[in-house]
A and B are shown apart, each in its own frame.
Chain A
Amino acid sequence: MENRRILNRIIFINIANTDYASIEIAGNTCFVGTNNMGKTTLQRAILFFYSANTRGLGISSSQKSFEDYYFQYPNSYIIYEIATEEGLFHVMVYRNNKLFYRFVESAFIQEHYIDNSEALLPKQILTKFNEHRVNYSDQIETFERYRNIIYGADPDKKYKKFALMKGNSNYHNIPLAITSIFLSSEATIKAEFVKECIANSISTKHTNIELKTVERQLRQFTERYQDIETFFRKENSQRGDLIKDNFSQIRNLKNKQRALAGELGGALKYATEQKELLGQQAAEKREEMDIIEKEFREKELAQQEKNKEINQDIGALKSRLREADKKLKEYESQGITELLKKAEEKPQLVLQLQARETEYATLTAGFSDVEQQFKTLFDALENERREFENVLSSQGLQLDKKFQEEKNNLKDIYRKEEAERKERHAAEADRYKQQLNQKELEKKDADFREKDIRKKKYFEKEIALLKGHLEDIARHKVERSSALTVKMNTIDLLKKEGDHIRERNKLTSEQYIAKNKEEVVALEEKIKVINEKLSVHQSAFFGFLQDNYPDWYSTIGKVCNEEILFNQELNPQLLKNGLESLYGIQLDLSNVRVYSKTLDEYDQEKSIYQEKIAELNQAFLDFREEQTREEQTRLASIGKKTAQFKNEIAQLEYEAGQDELKEKQYTLDLHEWESKGEAQREKDLLEVYAVQESIKKESAAIKQTISEMEAVLTKGLTSLQQDFNNRLAKATKTMEAEAEKLKELREEKQNDYSERKASLQKEKSKVLKTKGIDDSRIKKLKAEIDDTKDALNALEKYSELLNDYRKDKRELFDKIEEFKREREKFEDKIRQSDKEFLNEKQAYARKRTQLEEDGRALNEALKKYTDGLEHFERHFRERALFDRLRHIIEPAPAEHSEAGIIGLCSQLLANDTEYHNQFEKFRNNVTEFTGRFRPDNHLNFKINPQAGEGEYERFAAYLQDFYNENKIQTSIAEVAKSHGMLIDAISSKMKALIEHKGRIQKMITKMEADFGRASFESSKLIEYIKLKSEDSENKVLRKLQRIAEFREQNPFLYGEANLFNQANKAKAEIDKRSVELLNDLQKTISEEKHEEIRVQDLFELRFRIKEGKNDTGWIEKIDKVGSTGTDMLVKAVIYITLLNVFIKESTEKTARNFYVHCIIDEVGQISASYLKELINFAEERNICLVNGLPNESKLETHYNYTYKFRKDQHGFVKVVPLLTMSIEP
């Protein structure tokens, strides 16, 4: 039975090229075999026992993996048999997809694995174990677990028995060192390698500083810092303001553009409607004008026709009058008056003729009977007188008749005239009355129109629209005013809330910092205490016990407090070993707790405190970041709300401004419309008044005319009566004169007759007396008869003329007056008609003028709209601007616009030009602003110039939000946190690294001591191997150290989460310095191209070897010390020393009863004597060498086990033991 623990045997079953091999290796072992015989395969399998890591076995990537090469079959096994003080156990390694382990509590028994020369499957093997009642462990599934068990670090006690050694937390160094030696045995030994081993022995990879990560973090930090720095540059803040201004101007211009577009749309529709309406109205007016013109022309024609007839009548009358005049003159020239007078005497002449003729006949008839004669003469005279009386009475009768006729005639004329006049008057009066009635109606119309005009609301639609707008504005004003108040109040509240948050956070932060500082100080105090203990422990009682009294923890450790343990003035001396008494008194201390702690425990405690400090620092940073973030989030939300409200206020104010302008405009428009309306009303009223006045005047005139007519009629009638009376009187007078004349004639004749009778009587008497004849008388009678006959003949001669005269008199001359009256009547008619027509003409002219005026006004308005529409079509529709605004223009409802279409088009174009100018400036400002930042800046200030206008507006909105929400503060906080974290992380990592310095030094010292113990006295080959450490030359490390130092000097520099605060100059300087340090570090990292900073970078290691007369001096790598053999020997010595030191460091000192293998391949160059010395050197350190030799030589005789490798007929590698016993037991 072994009194040590050692890997006793390795068994291959179906491994690689080996079907079965059992190799005992419980001592120095040598494998002999030519190349490619499986030496390295076996050595690697041994290494796998220690490392249990398939990747660190030196298998290149081009080769098959460990699993695939070794475990080709389901029944491939590597079995490691371990010898212990209690007996043997073995570990089986098999593959079931991945590799598994089982610990078996017995020595390796071939039958358990192989049945009928056939390896069993794992399940069958377990059955076999069960059959043979062999205990075995559960399947160990991870390499880590296996290593823990083998190196005695597994917490499960049931695996304790399978431990090869009792390792501490650093046991990983042992497999690492064994692996490192195996992997680098053939190359030169570089200080780097040793440094690495030292590093590995005292630290884990966790302590390394990954420079890639640091560099990445630093780059991120620097870039972000740079972004913020750029943000705060003067030009940029100015540019930012410009962008904000531009943006707001652009927005206003856009709003205005939209409003104008809407207005234009409304105006266009309104114009189209108006165009139609006004066109219709104008056409109606034209039609109306045509109608009245036609009517007027018709009336004119009728009037002319009517006048023509009357004129014809007048003409006829005039010609008759002219004829009468002419004839009268002719008659007068022929002496018609005389003729008439003579014609009147004709009957008397006829009577006179008859009487004279009778007288003559009588006188001439015979003178016989005078009596008879005289009687006949008397009878004739009586007859004559009677005849004359008859003539006279007939003349009297005729005269009377004539008078009566004339009287009747005059009466008729008078009555007729009177009737005519009355009739004419009545007709005239009726006409005038009709006119008067017409005027009355017209007056009523005018009165009604006046009322209507007074009541009428002019431009009602326009005024209602404007009033509607004004009402809207007034309503909006009120709403806006209350909204403004609410928003202002809200902003105040938000501001207060923001202040409150800041105040509260400041307070919380201060409290937190104070508490955090307090805790850190307390922890540092504790660390300081531990450090003090550790710094003095070697010279204190503690160190004495550590060196001279193993297991002192369970005895003295329970009865001494730390004060005594770390007292340096106790001068302890070991009197007797193993005596467990306190000043001679034995105590049972099994239930007493240990006062003291081990060095590891102190280290651990210190690490815990340091971790706590780191945690506190981290917590502080987290707290600060969290607080800043939270504060920023809340402030951002407040800022956002405030900005929103401010924006809304600005919008409201803008709207208010716009509304005010609109209100002014609308009020002006309203006033204008109203005054226009009033002016129109005034005009209309004036027109109505004029009409009324004219009607009044005309009515009065008509009335006047009527009354005048009445007067004229009365006067006419009176004059007619007068005329009639005069004429009657004249006729009566003429008749009386005639009668008088007749009377006078009768009296004359009576007298004549009486005289003639008397004369006859006298003659008779005379004749009777005388009877004789008187011829003078007959002669006188004869002359008288002839004269009368001549007069009658003359009358006969002119009788035709007189008849004509009488006829003309009857037909013409007597009617002259009548004709004249007729003519006057007709002329009156014409005058009247002309007068009437003149009125008509005037009315027509008035109406026509009115219509023309209306038409002109309509045409003017129509022209305005048509011009507008035409302008729009010609100068606006084809523009791109119209296409852009089409969606606003087309659906806008019809509305009158004061500016007019042309004005609106011009305004829109001007607005567009202004917009483009502003946008150009805006774009340039945005480009310049973003151009100052890195293309991928973390503030996201970037722009894609190809994306169009929207992209720039999006950016401006983002920038505005950024300013409003003060997002830069979040970035500052983040940068401050990453700054703090970076410095903290670098500082704590550096602290952790530097803490290893002491142990490194200790290790080097130990190694040097171990080298010193190398007993090469016999050969005196190596005089000495020396090691020393120097300060690191790593530039990155130096920069890191400077940052750590900076952190130490400024432990609480992160009070404020702002690296850009220039208010506190001292702090600004510190911030600047820290940022510079980080920048320097980043620069150095990128220059130096190191991937990480490890423990080995903390120091430089130098070797010095003296072999024979060769002194290498202080060198960095051991390339060639002497001959190949010497060289190899020296390297092997160094490896073994390293391994020994690592084993010591990694295991419990009290239980050094195990052996490990050190696998160094290809040692064929070392001479036998040196090899012997080497084996002894290893032996002294409980290390068994496993070496490989290419050929058999005498060297193998120095090993406990020597195996030769060869292949059998099946190509399987066979491992054949050459010597089975150690020649030097």
Chain B
Amino acid sequence: MNIPKQTPEIFSILSKGNFISSNGSKGKLFDVINYEDNFLILKEFFSHTGYYLEKGHNYYYFSQQEETNTLMEKKLEQFAYYIDVMDFFSSMDTKPAVGTRYRVTQIAEECYANERLKQKLFALSRREKMTDKVTEIANDLTTGGFFEQEDEDTYKVMDAIHYLEQVISLITIEDDGEQTNP
């Protein structure tokens, strides 16, 4: 079994819980995994480490079969936050479609103009300055691998955003039968 020479690099990224998206700066690694049988080879290879290489729409990531409850709880908390952040970005004029470039200053400007958006942002970050708030949440998404920072002010939406969208679409809200109209 010939594993690609970039395997260590791939492992080091994915094992940190990051994604490899086709439209990111690590797009070449995506191509490597995507090349011929590499995905199966690497899946098999990584399975011995306890990580399972998973394939999404234009992105790859690791999953683990067994996770502790604490970790799962932490992940759920993290997801609750991501949902709010996604809600924030989805409320903007420019929706977070793959490849969208967001400028921190531009988001901040929109927040100044849109009270609802501003409220959402205020609920997400406790930083003082508007731009710092935006930077904070953009960095959080970058850490999660859903955004990538291109320069000081610009963030790009990665293919991995589909992962978030997919998870959000799987959430079903139980109807508690109580509906109050404001």
> Which A residues fall within an 8 A CB radius of B?
230, 233, 235, 923-924, 927-932, 935, 945-946
B100 touches A931 (CB 8 A): yes
User: Chain B's nearest CB lies how many Å from the CB of A601?
Assistant: 53
Residue pairs across A and B with Cβ atoms less than 8 A apart, 7 shown, are A233-B27, A927-B100, A928-B23, A929-B99, A932-B22, A932-B27, A935-B154
Of B90-98, B115-123, B135-143, B173-181, the stretch lying at the interface with chain A is B90-98
* Chief secondary structure at chain B's binding surface: loop
- What residues on A are CB-neighbors of B133 within 8 Å? none
Contact partner of A930 among B94, B99, B154, CB < 8 A?
B99
- What residues on A are CB-neighbors of B27 within 8 Å? 230, 233, 932
User: Chain B's nearest CB lies how many Å from the CB of A1043?
Assistant: 22
User: Chain B's nearest CB lies how many Å from the CB of A277?
Assistant: 49
User: Chain B's nearest CB lies how many Å from the CB of A922?
Assistant: 11
B106 touches A931 (CB 8 A): no
Cα distance, A931 to B101, chains bound together (Å): 7
A927 touches B98 (CB 8 A): yes
Judge whether B105 is part of the interface by a CB distance below 8 angstroms. no
Contact partner of B97 among A923, A932, A946, CB < 8 A?
A923
> Residue-by-residue, is B15-28 near A (CB-CB < 8 Å gives 1, otherwise 0)?
00000001100010
Closest to B96 in A: A927
B106 touches A928 (CB 8 A): no
> Which B residues fall within an 8 A CB radius of A?
22-23, 27, 31, 58, 93-94, 97-101, 106, 150-151, 154, 156-157
Interface centre among B23, B154, B156 (most CB of A within 10 A): B23
User: Chain B's nearest CB lies how many Å from the CB of A268?
Assistant: 34
A928 touches B154 (CB 8 A): no
Q: Which 7 A-B pairs have the closest CB atoms?
A: A931-B99, A928-B99, A945-B94, A924-B97, A928-B98, A927-B99, A927-B97
- What residues on B are CB-neighbors of A928 within 8 Å? 23, 97-99
User: Chain B's nearest CB lies how many Å from the CB of A1082?
Assistant: 16
B58 touches A931 (CB 8 A): no
Closest to B154 in A: A935
B98 touches A945 (CB 8 A): no
A945 touches B100 (CB 8 A): yes
- What residues on A are CB-neighbors of B150 within 8 Å? 935
Cα distance, A927 to B154, chains bound together (Å): 15
- What residues on A are CB-neighbors of B98 within 8 Å? 924, 927-928, 931
Cα distance, A935 to B103, chains bound together (Å): 12
A945 touches B101 (CB 8 A): yes
Cα distance, A230 to B99, chains bound together (Å): 13
Closest to A948 in B: B93
Cα distance, A945 to B94, chains bound together (Å): 7
User: Chain B's nearest CB lies how many Å from the CB of A1116?
Assistant: 38
- What residues on A are CB-neighbors of B100 within 8 Å? 927, 931, 945
Closest to B151 in A: A935
Closest to B98 in A: A928
Closest to B22 in A: A235
Cα distance, A233 to B97, chains bound together (Å): 19
A928-B97, A931-B23, A932-B23 are known; give 4 further A-B pairs, CB within 8 A.
A233-B22, A233-B27, A928-B23, A935-B101
B99 touches A932 (CB 8 A): yes
User: Chain A's nearest CB lies how many Å from the CB of B5?
Assistant: 13
Closest to A230 in B: B27
- What residues on B are CB-neighbors of A929 within 8 Å? 99
Cα distance, A235 to B22, chains bound together (Å): 9
- What residues on A are CB-neighbors of B156 within 8 Å? 931
Cα distance, A945 to B101, chains bound together (Å): 8
- What residues on A are CB-neighbors of B58 within 8 Å? 235
- What residues on B are CB-neighbors of A930 within 8 Å? 99
Contact partner of A946 among B23, B93, B151, B154, CB < 8 A?
B93
User: Chain B's nearest CB lies how many Å from the CB of A377?
Assistant: 148
- What residues on B are CB-neighbors of A932 within 8 Å? 22-23, 27, 99
- What residues on A are CB-neighbors of B99 within 8 Å? 927-932
Closest to B25 in A: A934
Closest to B28 in A: A229
Cα distance, A923 to B23, chains bound together (Å): 17
Cα distance, A929 to B151, chains bound together (Å): 19
User: Chain A's nearest CB lies how many Å from the CB of B86?
Assistant: 16
Closest to B100 in A: A927
- What residues on B are CB-neighbors of A233 within 8 Å? 22, 27, 31
Cα distance, A931 to B157, chains bound together (Å): 8
Cα distance, A147 to B170, chains bound together (Å): 83
Cα distance, A488 to B40, chains bound together (Å): 49
User: Chain B's nearest CB lies how many Å from the CB of A12?
Assistant: 57
- What residues on B are CB-neighbors of A935 within 8 Å? 101, 150-151, 154
Closest to A923 in B: B97
Cα distance, A946 to B94, chains bound together (Å): 7
Cα distance, A946 to B150, chains bound together (Å): 19
Closest to A945 in B: B94
B157 touches A946 (CB 8 A): no
Cα distance, A923 to B93, chains bound together (Å): 13
Closest to A931 in B: B99
Cα distance, A924 to B159, chains bound together (Å): 12
- What residues on A are CB-neighbors of B22 within 8 Å? 233, 235, 932
- What residues on B are CB-neighbors of A230 within 8 Å? 27
User: Chain A's nearest CB lies how many Å from the CB of B27?
Assistant: 8
User: Chain A's nearest CB lies how many Å from the CB of B48?
Assistant: 30
- What residues on B are CB-neighbors of A931 within 8 Å? 23, 98-101, 156-157
Closest to B106 in A: A946
- What residues on B are CB-neighbors of A924 within 8 Å? 97-98
User: Chain B's nearest CB lies how many Å from the CB of A763?
Assistant: 152
User: Chain A's nearest CB lies how many Å from the CB of B114?
Assistant: 14
Cα distance, A935 to B154, chains bound together (Å): 9
Cα distance, A930 to B150, chains bound together (Å): 14
- What residues on B are CB-neighbors of A923 within 8 Å? 97
- What residues on A are CB-neighbors of B106 within 8 Å? 946
Cα distance, A235 to B100, chains bound together (Å): 16
User: Chain A's nearest CB lies how many Å from the CB of B171?
Assistant: 22
Cα distance, A233 to B30, chains bound together (Å): 12
Cα distance, A932 to B98, chains bound together (Å): 9
Cα distance, A929 to B22, chains bound together (Å): 11
- What residues on A are CB-neighbors of B23 within 8 Å? 928, 931-932
Cα distance, A929 to B99, chains bound together (Å): 7
Interface centre among A928, A929, A930, A931 (most CB of B within 10 A): A931
Cα distance, A944 to B58, chains bound together (Å): 24
User: Chain A's nearest CB lies how many Å from the CB of B45?
Assistant: 24
Closest to A934 in B: B150
Cα distance, A230 to B154, chains bound together (Å): 20
Cα distance, A927 to B101, chains bound together (Å): 8
Closest to B58 in A: A235
Cα distance, A574 to B157, chains bound together (Å): 84
User: Chain B's nearest CB lies how many Å from the CB of A243?
Assistant: 12
Cα distance, A923 to B58, chains bound together (Å): 18
User: Chain B's nearest CB lies how many Å from the CB of A923?
Assistant: 7
Cα distance, A945 to B156, chains bound together (Å): 12
Cα distance, A76 to B58, chains bound together (Å): 78
User: Chain B's nearest CB lies how many Å from the CB of A933?
Assistant: 9
User: Chain A's nearest CB lies how many Å from the CB of B159?
Assistant: 8
- What residues on A are CB-neighbors of B101 within 8 Å? 931, 935, 945
- What residues on A are CB-neighbors of B94 within 8 Å? 945-946
Interface centre among B31, B98, B150 (most CB of A within 10 A): B98
User: Chain A's nearest CB lies how many Å from the CB of B14?
Assistant: 20
- What residues on A are CB-neighbors of B154 within 8 Å? 935
Cα distance, A928 to B21, chains bound together (Å): 12
Cα distance, A928 to B157, chains bound together (Å): 9
Cα distance, A924 to B150, chains bound together (Å): 20
Cα distance, A1200 to B4, chains bound together (Å): 77
User: Chain A's nearest CB lies how many Å from the CB of B31?
Assistant: 8
